[in-house]
Each structure stands twice: as structure tokens, then as C-alpha cells.
Chain A
Amino acid sequence: MKSNFLVIRCLRIALVIAVLVVTGWAIRPFEDPAWQVVRAQQPAMKLDSLQGALGQGVTVGLLGGFRAIVADFFWIKTNSVWSDNDLPTTQKLIKLVTVIDPRPLYFWQNGARMIAYDMPNWRIVAGGGYEVVSKEEQRHIDEEQSTVAINYLTEGFGYHPNSALLHIEIANVYLNRLKDMDAAAKAYFKAAQQPDAPYYVARIYGELLRRQGRNAEAYAWLKQLYPTLPRIIEGATTQPSAQELEMGMAPVVLERIRELEKELKIPASLSFKP
């Protein structure tokens, strides 16, 4: 009698746990198809690096399912620090934001742009300006920042292995900052292989081949590209929208093909027939 209350309480707790375990077990087959999809896009949380940077309160927030909003607040903070040209803090925050939530591509894209395009400018201005810092030193700074940006974007492939956008950003850094057309072309090529690649990526790849004097490769590439572009095909049941036509720029690609045929002296009989 004396320990009755305790026994009853223990039995009650055991019953509650049993109900929850049976529910969890029974619902698992129903849950799994959805969970596989969610799990595939669920990046791991790097708690060790976060706890030092954020403190325990924010870390608990992340664990509580608020990682998106925590990352967004840090992203706003990044932009505010960026407008003060504070290089070390901006760089640290850019990385922190993608550690907290690596899912949004725009964190990677915009973070890399800040590192590759804005930070060299800040460093040169801090060194006395474009007149004072030597061209060689400027080139060196560009290379350093570009490497940081490319490494950063490459890290993004860990979470977004099929992202055309990350390849495009890498290509742009090679092209615009390092003036390395070959590396840029390779990156554009990889971007063009991805399922969500915009039409212009393949055009630019062809153009870069051409600028490097690799006309035959460019010609072969564009010939292969043209049939995949949206265009009006007589007799087809469905036609692309005006916007798709505009974005695909099939006539421009055809024009390039014709120019290359002239340059490569392709006989009319062998010319490309769309």
C-alpha cells in the first residue's frame, strides 16, 4: 500500500513510453518514403565549429529547427559588415553562414562574389589605392582572393553536387578576375553538363573556345548545341514560349556556326543543316 503511488506512477510512465515506441515503430514504413527525400537534401550540421562561433544559445536554436532563420540573420549581418568594407569579419561571417545552413545557393554565390570581386578592391584601397599599389601586387591580391573564392565555391559542391550555378561562379572568377580563359571554359563546360544550366552557359563555352583559337572544337560544340535549343519547328505539336525563344537565342548560335564555317572554310555541301 505504501509504495502504491510509486508503482502506479511507474506503470503509467511505462505505458506512455510503450505507446510512443509502438507508434514510432508502426509509422516508420509510412514515414520512410518521405524521409528518404528529406534526408537526401539534409546537410549535416557541423556542431563543433558552430558552438565556438555562435555560443550555446544560438546552437540550441539551430538544433530546435531554426537554422534557416539563424543563418538568415547572420547573412543580414554579413551584408551589413560588408558595407563597412570589414574584410576579416565579412570573410568569417560568409563562411559561418554556409556552415549554419549550406542549403541556399545564394549564400555561396553572393559570398563568393564578395570574396572575389569586392575584397581585392578593399585590400588595394587599404594599401593606398590603385595608384600606389603596384600592378604586380594588385595581380597578386586578385589571385589570392580568387583562390579563396574558388575554394569556397568548391566546398559548396559537397552540398550541391549538381549545381550549375556554382560552376558558373567559378568560371566567372577564372574569366573576370584571373583572365584564365582555359580554366573558365572548363568550368563553363561542367556547368553546361548540369541539369539546371541556363542556355547562355553553353553559348559562352563555345565563345571561349573560339577566343582561344579552338575554332574546330567551337564549331563542333555549337553544332551539337543548336538542336537542343528552343526554336520554332514547323509541324511540331508544341512550340516554345516567346520567353524561351528569347533566352535560347537559337538564331544567334546559328549565326556563330555560319561565321565559324567561313573561318574554317567548310564547303557549302558540308555546312550545318539545322
Chain B
Amino acid sequence: MTNPTPPVAIEIRDLTKDFPLTLRGVKLRAVDNLTLSIPEGQVFGLLGPNGSGKSTTIKIILGLLDPTVGECKVFGVPSGRVDSRLNVGYLPEAPYFYRYLSGTELVRFYGRICGVPRKRLDDRVKEVIDWVGLSGAAHRRVGTYSKGMLQRIGLAQALVHDPRLIILDEPTAGVDPVGSAEISELILKLKAQGKTVLITSHLLAQIEDVCDRVAILDKGKLILEGDMNDLVGQRGRQALIVDPLTTAQLAELRVWLAERGHTLDAVEQPRARLDQLFLSQVSRAVKGENK
């Protein structure tokens, strides 16, 4: 018996997307023969510089654009069909919502569009607003929200119908490190619930922290795809972090390693990541204020 193939959330095959630039047929190829498979239950990062075709790919997955060539299926349904979006939640880049609605009204509106039954709607709206941590501002007009709050209410509207696949397009663009870390935390919670998450982000550190698997696009082409640990972990090498050693102790260590067939390649002072330092300082300051 072979292991059963894991179920697939998104399947893209030989996908090409051209945009006409002029009536005479000059076109821009945004996605070039892309084949990609995103298994269910994973956090998948789609990376690439600006103009690499990430957003176009996402729009095709959502049925907002038709592929020029190739096919795209979401849970087995062609993405051009309305029912392919039944189990998809989407947070666009730098979302802008109806400013005149309150947070609750906005999430309610999207919940109704998605067909959440009326009986369950109020509870579900409250639940997702609590979940994204916006209960305190739920009755404020969306027009008064900060960028971070907009991202969170955007996440709430994407989750209101309890989708199996959540697509997040640059969810941390323009959000401060605290907000960004909170969004990372929410993504990990979604993963824990067994959801599939497709995320694009410029913050590679964030992608590295939350993603199981990544694909890198450049000029519309897939140039690298794989498991996060496989891609960034350096196999066959190890780093030891110890208290400071004297020069003599270090020399002794080199000899000890050489006797056993190993070499000491680098001696460096380990550095904390700046975002972690920032978060620890900011959270300390907030705690101090609260006291």
C-alpha cells in the first residue's frame, strides 16, 4: 500500500495569463505556464518581487480573472465557477471597505452575501470579530479604523462563512510590527484549525515563520517551490551557541574537533532578530503603562 495522496485545495496546471496592452495585439504575459499544487491544511507562501504574477495568480484562483491558457481548480471545481468560491475567504492587499458601515455591519454584510444562515449570522459575526480581537471597536465605523484594524476586520470578513481555504494577499502591508506579529499569530491559529492558508508577503521573515511550503515566482514563472525547512535549512551543518570562550579554550576546541574529523568554520556573536527585539521592548513598555 502506498500513502494516499494528501487532498489538494488548489490545483493550477499550465496556467498562462496575458493582458492585452494595445488593440493591435501587443500583450503582457503576467503568468507563464505555471503549475502548482497546494495541499489542504498547509500554510503556503507565494513569493516574488513586484510584478512577478502573484496577485494575478490569486485573482485567477478567485475567479476574478479568466486564464488565457491552462486551468485552475479550487477543491476540484474550476475557479471560473461561482461554487468554487463557496469555501474560500479572501483578504485583498490594503483592503478598503465601506467606510459608512460599522465593523459588525460590514462582517454581517459579507456573511449574508456568503449565505450564512440568518439564525447563525449574529453569533458567527460576533465570534469572528472576537477572534480577530476587534470586539472593542465592532460598533465603530470602519472609516475610523487604523490600518491594522482594517486588516483584522478584513480577516473577519474573510472568515465569516468558515471557509476551508483562506487567501491573504500581503496581509501585513503597511501594518506595524506589532500588528504584523498579531496577524502571524492568527495565521498559525488558522493552521491549527486545519485551514489551508495561501499567503503572499514581502516580509520574508514572516513567511519563514508561518509557512510550511513556499513557491517563488519571477516574471510570471515558477522558479522555486518546496518545503520551507528543505529550502532554507542547511542540511549537514550545525550551530552551537555557548557562553563566551577564551582564546585558549577556542584553540583547544579546534584541536578537539580536528581530532574527530570536524572543522570550526565560524565563531560569531549571535544576534537577536530586530523584530523580536522590537516586540519585546514594545510589549514591556505597554505592560509598564498598564501598571
Contacts and interface: CB of A to CB of B under 8 A. Distances in A.
Nearest to A1: B25
B25 A2 contact: yes
Secondary structure dominating the interface of A: helix
B20 interface: yes
Contacts of B205: none
Interface in A1-58: 1-6, 9
Nearest to A5: B20
A9 B25 contact: no
B23 interface: yes
Contacts of B25: 1-6
Contacts of B24: 2-3, 6
Secondary structure dominating the interface of B: loop
A9 B24 CA distance: 11
Contacts of B27: 5
Nearest to B19: A5
A2 B18 CA distance: 11
Nearest to A10: B23
B193 to A, nearest CB: 44
Most buried by B among A3, A5, A9: A5
Interface residues of B, number: 5
Nearest to A2: B25
A9 B20 CA distance: 11
Nearest to A4: B25
A3 B27 CA distance: 10
Nearest to B18: A5
Contacts of A2: 24-25
Interface in B23-42: 23-25, 27
Interface in B1-57: 20, 23-25, 27
A166 B10 CA distance: 80
A1 B23 CA distance: 12
Contacts of B20: 5
Nearest to A8: B20
A2 B27 CA distance: 9
A3 B20 CA distance: 10
Contacts of B23: 5-6, 9
Contacts of A4: 25
B129 to A, nearest CB: 43
Nearest to B26: A2
Nearest to A9: B23
B161 to A, nearest CB: 34
A4 to B, nearest CB: 7
Nearest to B25: A2
A5 B24 CA distance: 8
A2 to B, nearest CB: 4
A9 B25 CA distance: 11
Interface string B84-102: 0000000000000000000
Contacts of A9: 23
A10 to B, nearest CB: 10
B169 to A, nearest CB: 27
A4 B27 CA distance: 11
B70 to A, nearest CB: 16
Nearest to A3: B25
Contacts of A1: 25
Contacts of A5: 20, 23, 25, 27
A273 B25 CA distance: 94
A251 B127 CA distance: 86
Nearest to A7: B25
Interface in A135-186: none
A261 to B, nearest CB: 82
Interface string B224-267: 00000000000000000000000000000000000000000000
B17 to A, nearest CB: 13
A1 B25 CA distance: 8
A247 B24 CA distance: 77
A221 B154 CA distance: 87
A9 B23 CA distance: 9
B42 to A, nearest CB: 37
A3 to B, nearest CB: 5
A225 to B, nearest CB: 69
A96 to B, nearest CB: 46
Interface in A35-93: none
Contacts of A6: 23-25
A224 B237 CA distance: 126
Closest 3 CB pairs of A and B: A2-B25, A5-B20, A3-B25
14 contacts: A1-B25, A2-B24, A2-B25, A3-B24, A3-B25, A4-B25, A5-B20, A5-B23, A5-B25, A5-B27, A6-B23, A6-B24, A6-B25, A9-B23
Given A2-B25, A9-B23, 12 more contacts: A1-B25, A2-B24, A3-B24, A3-B25, A4-B25, A5-B20, A5-B23, A5-B25, A5-B27, A6-B23, A6-B24, A6-B25
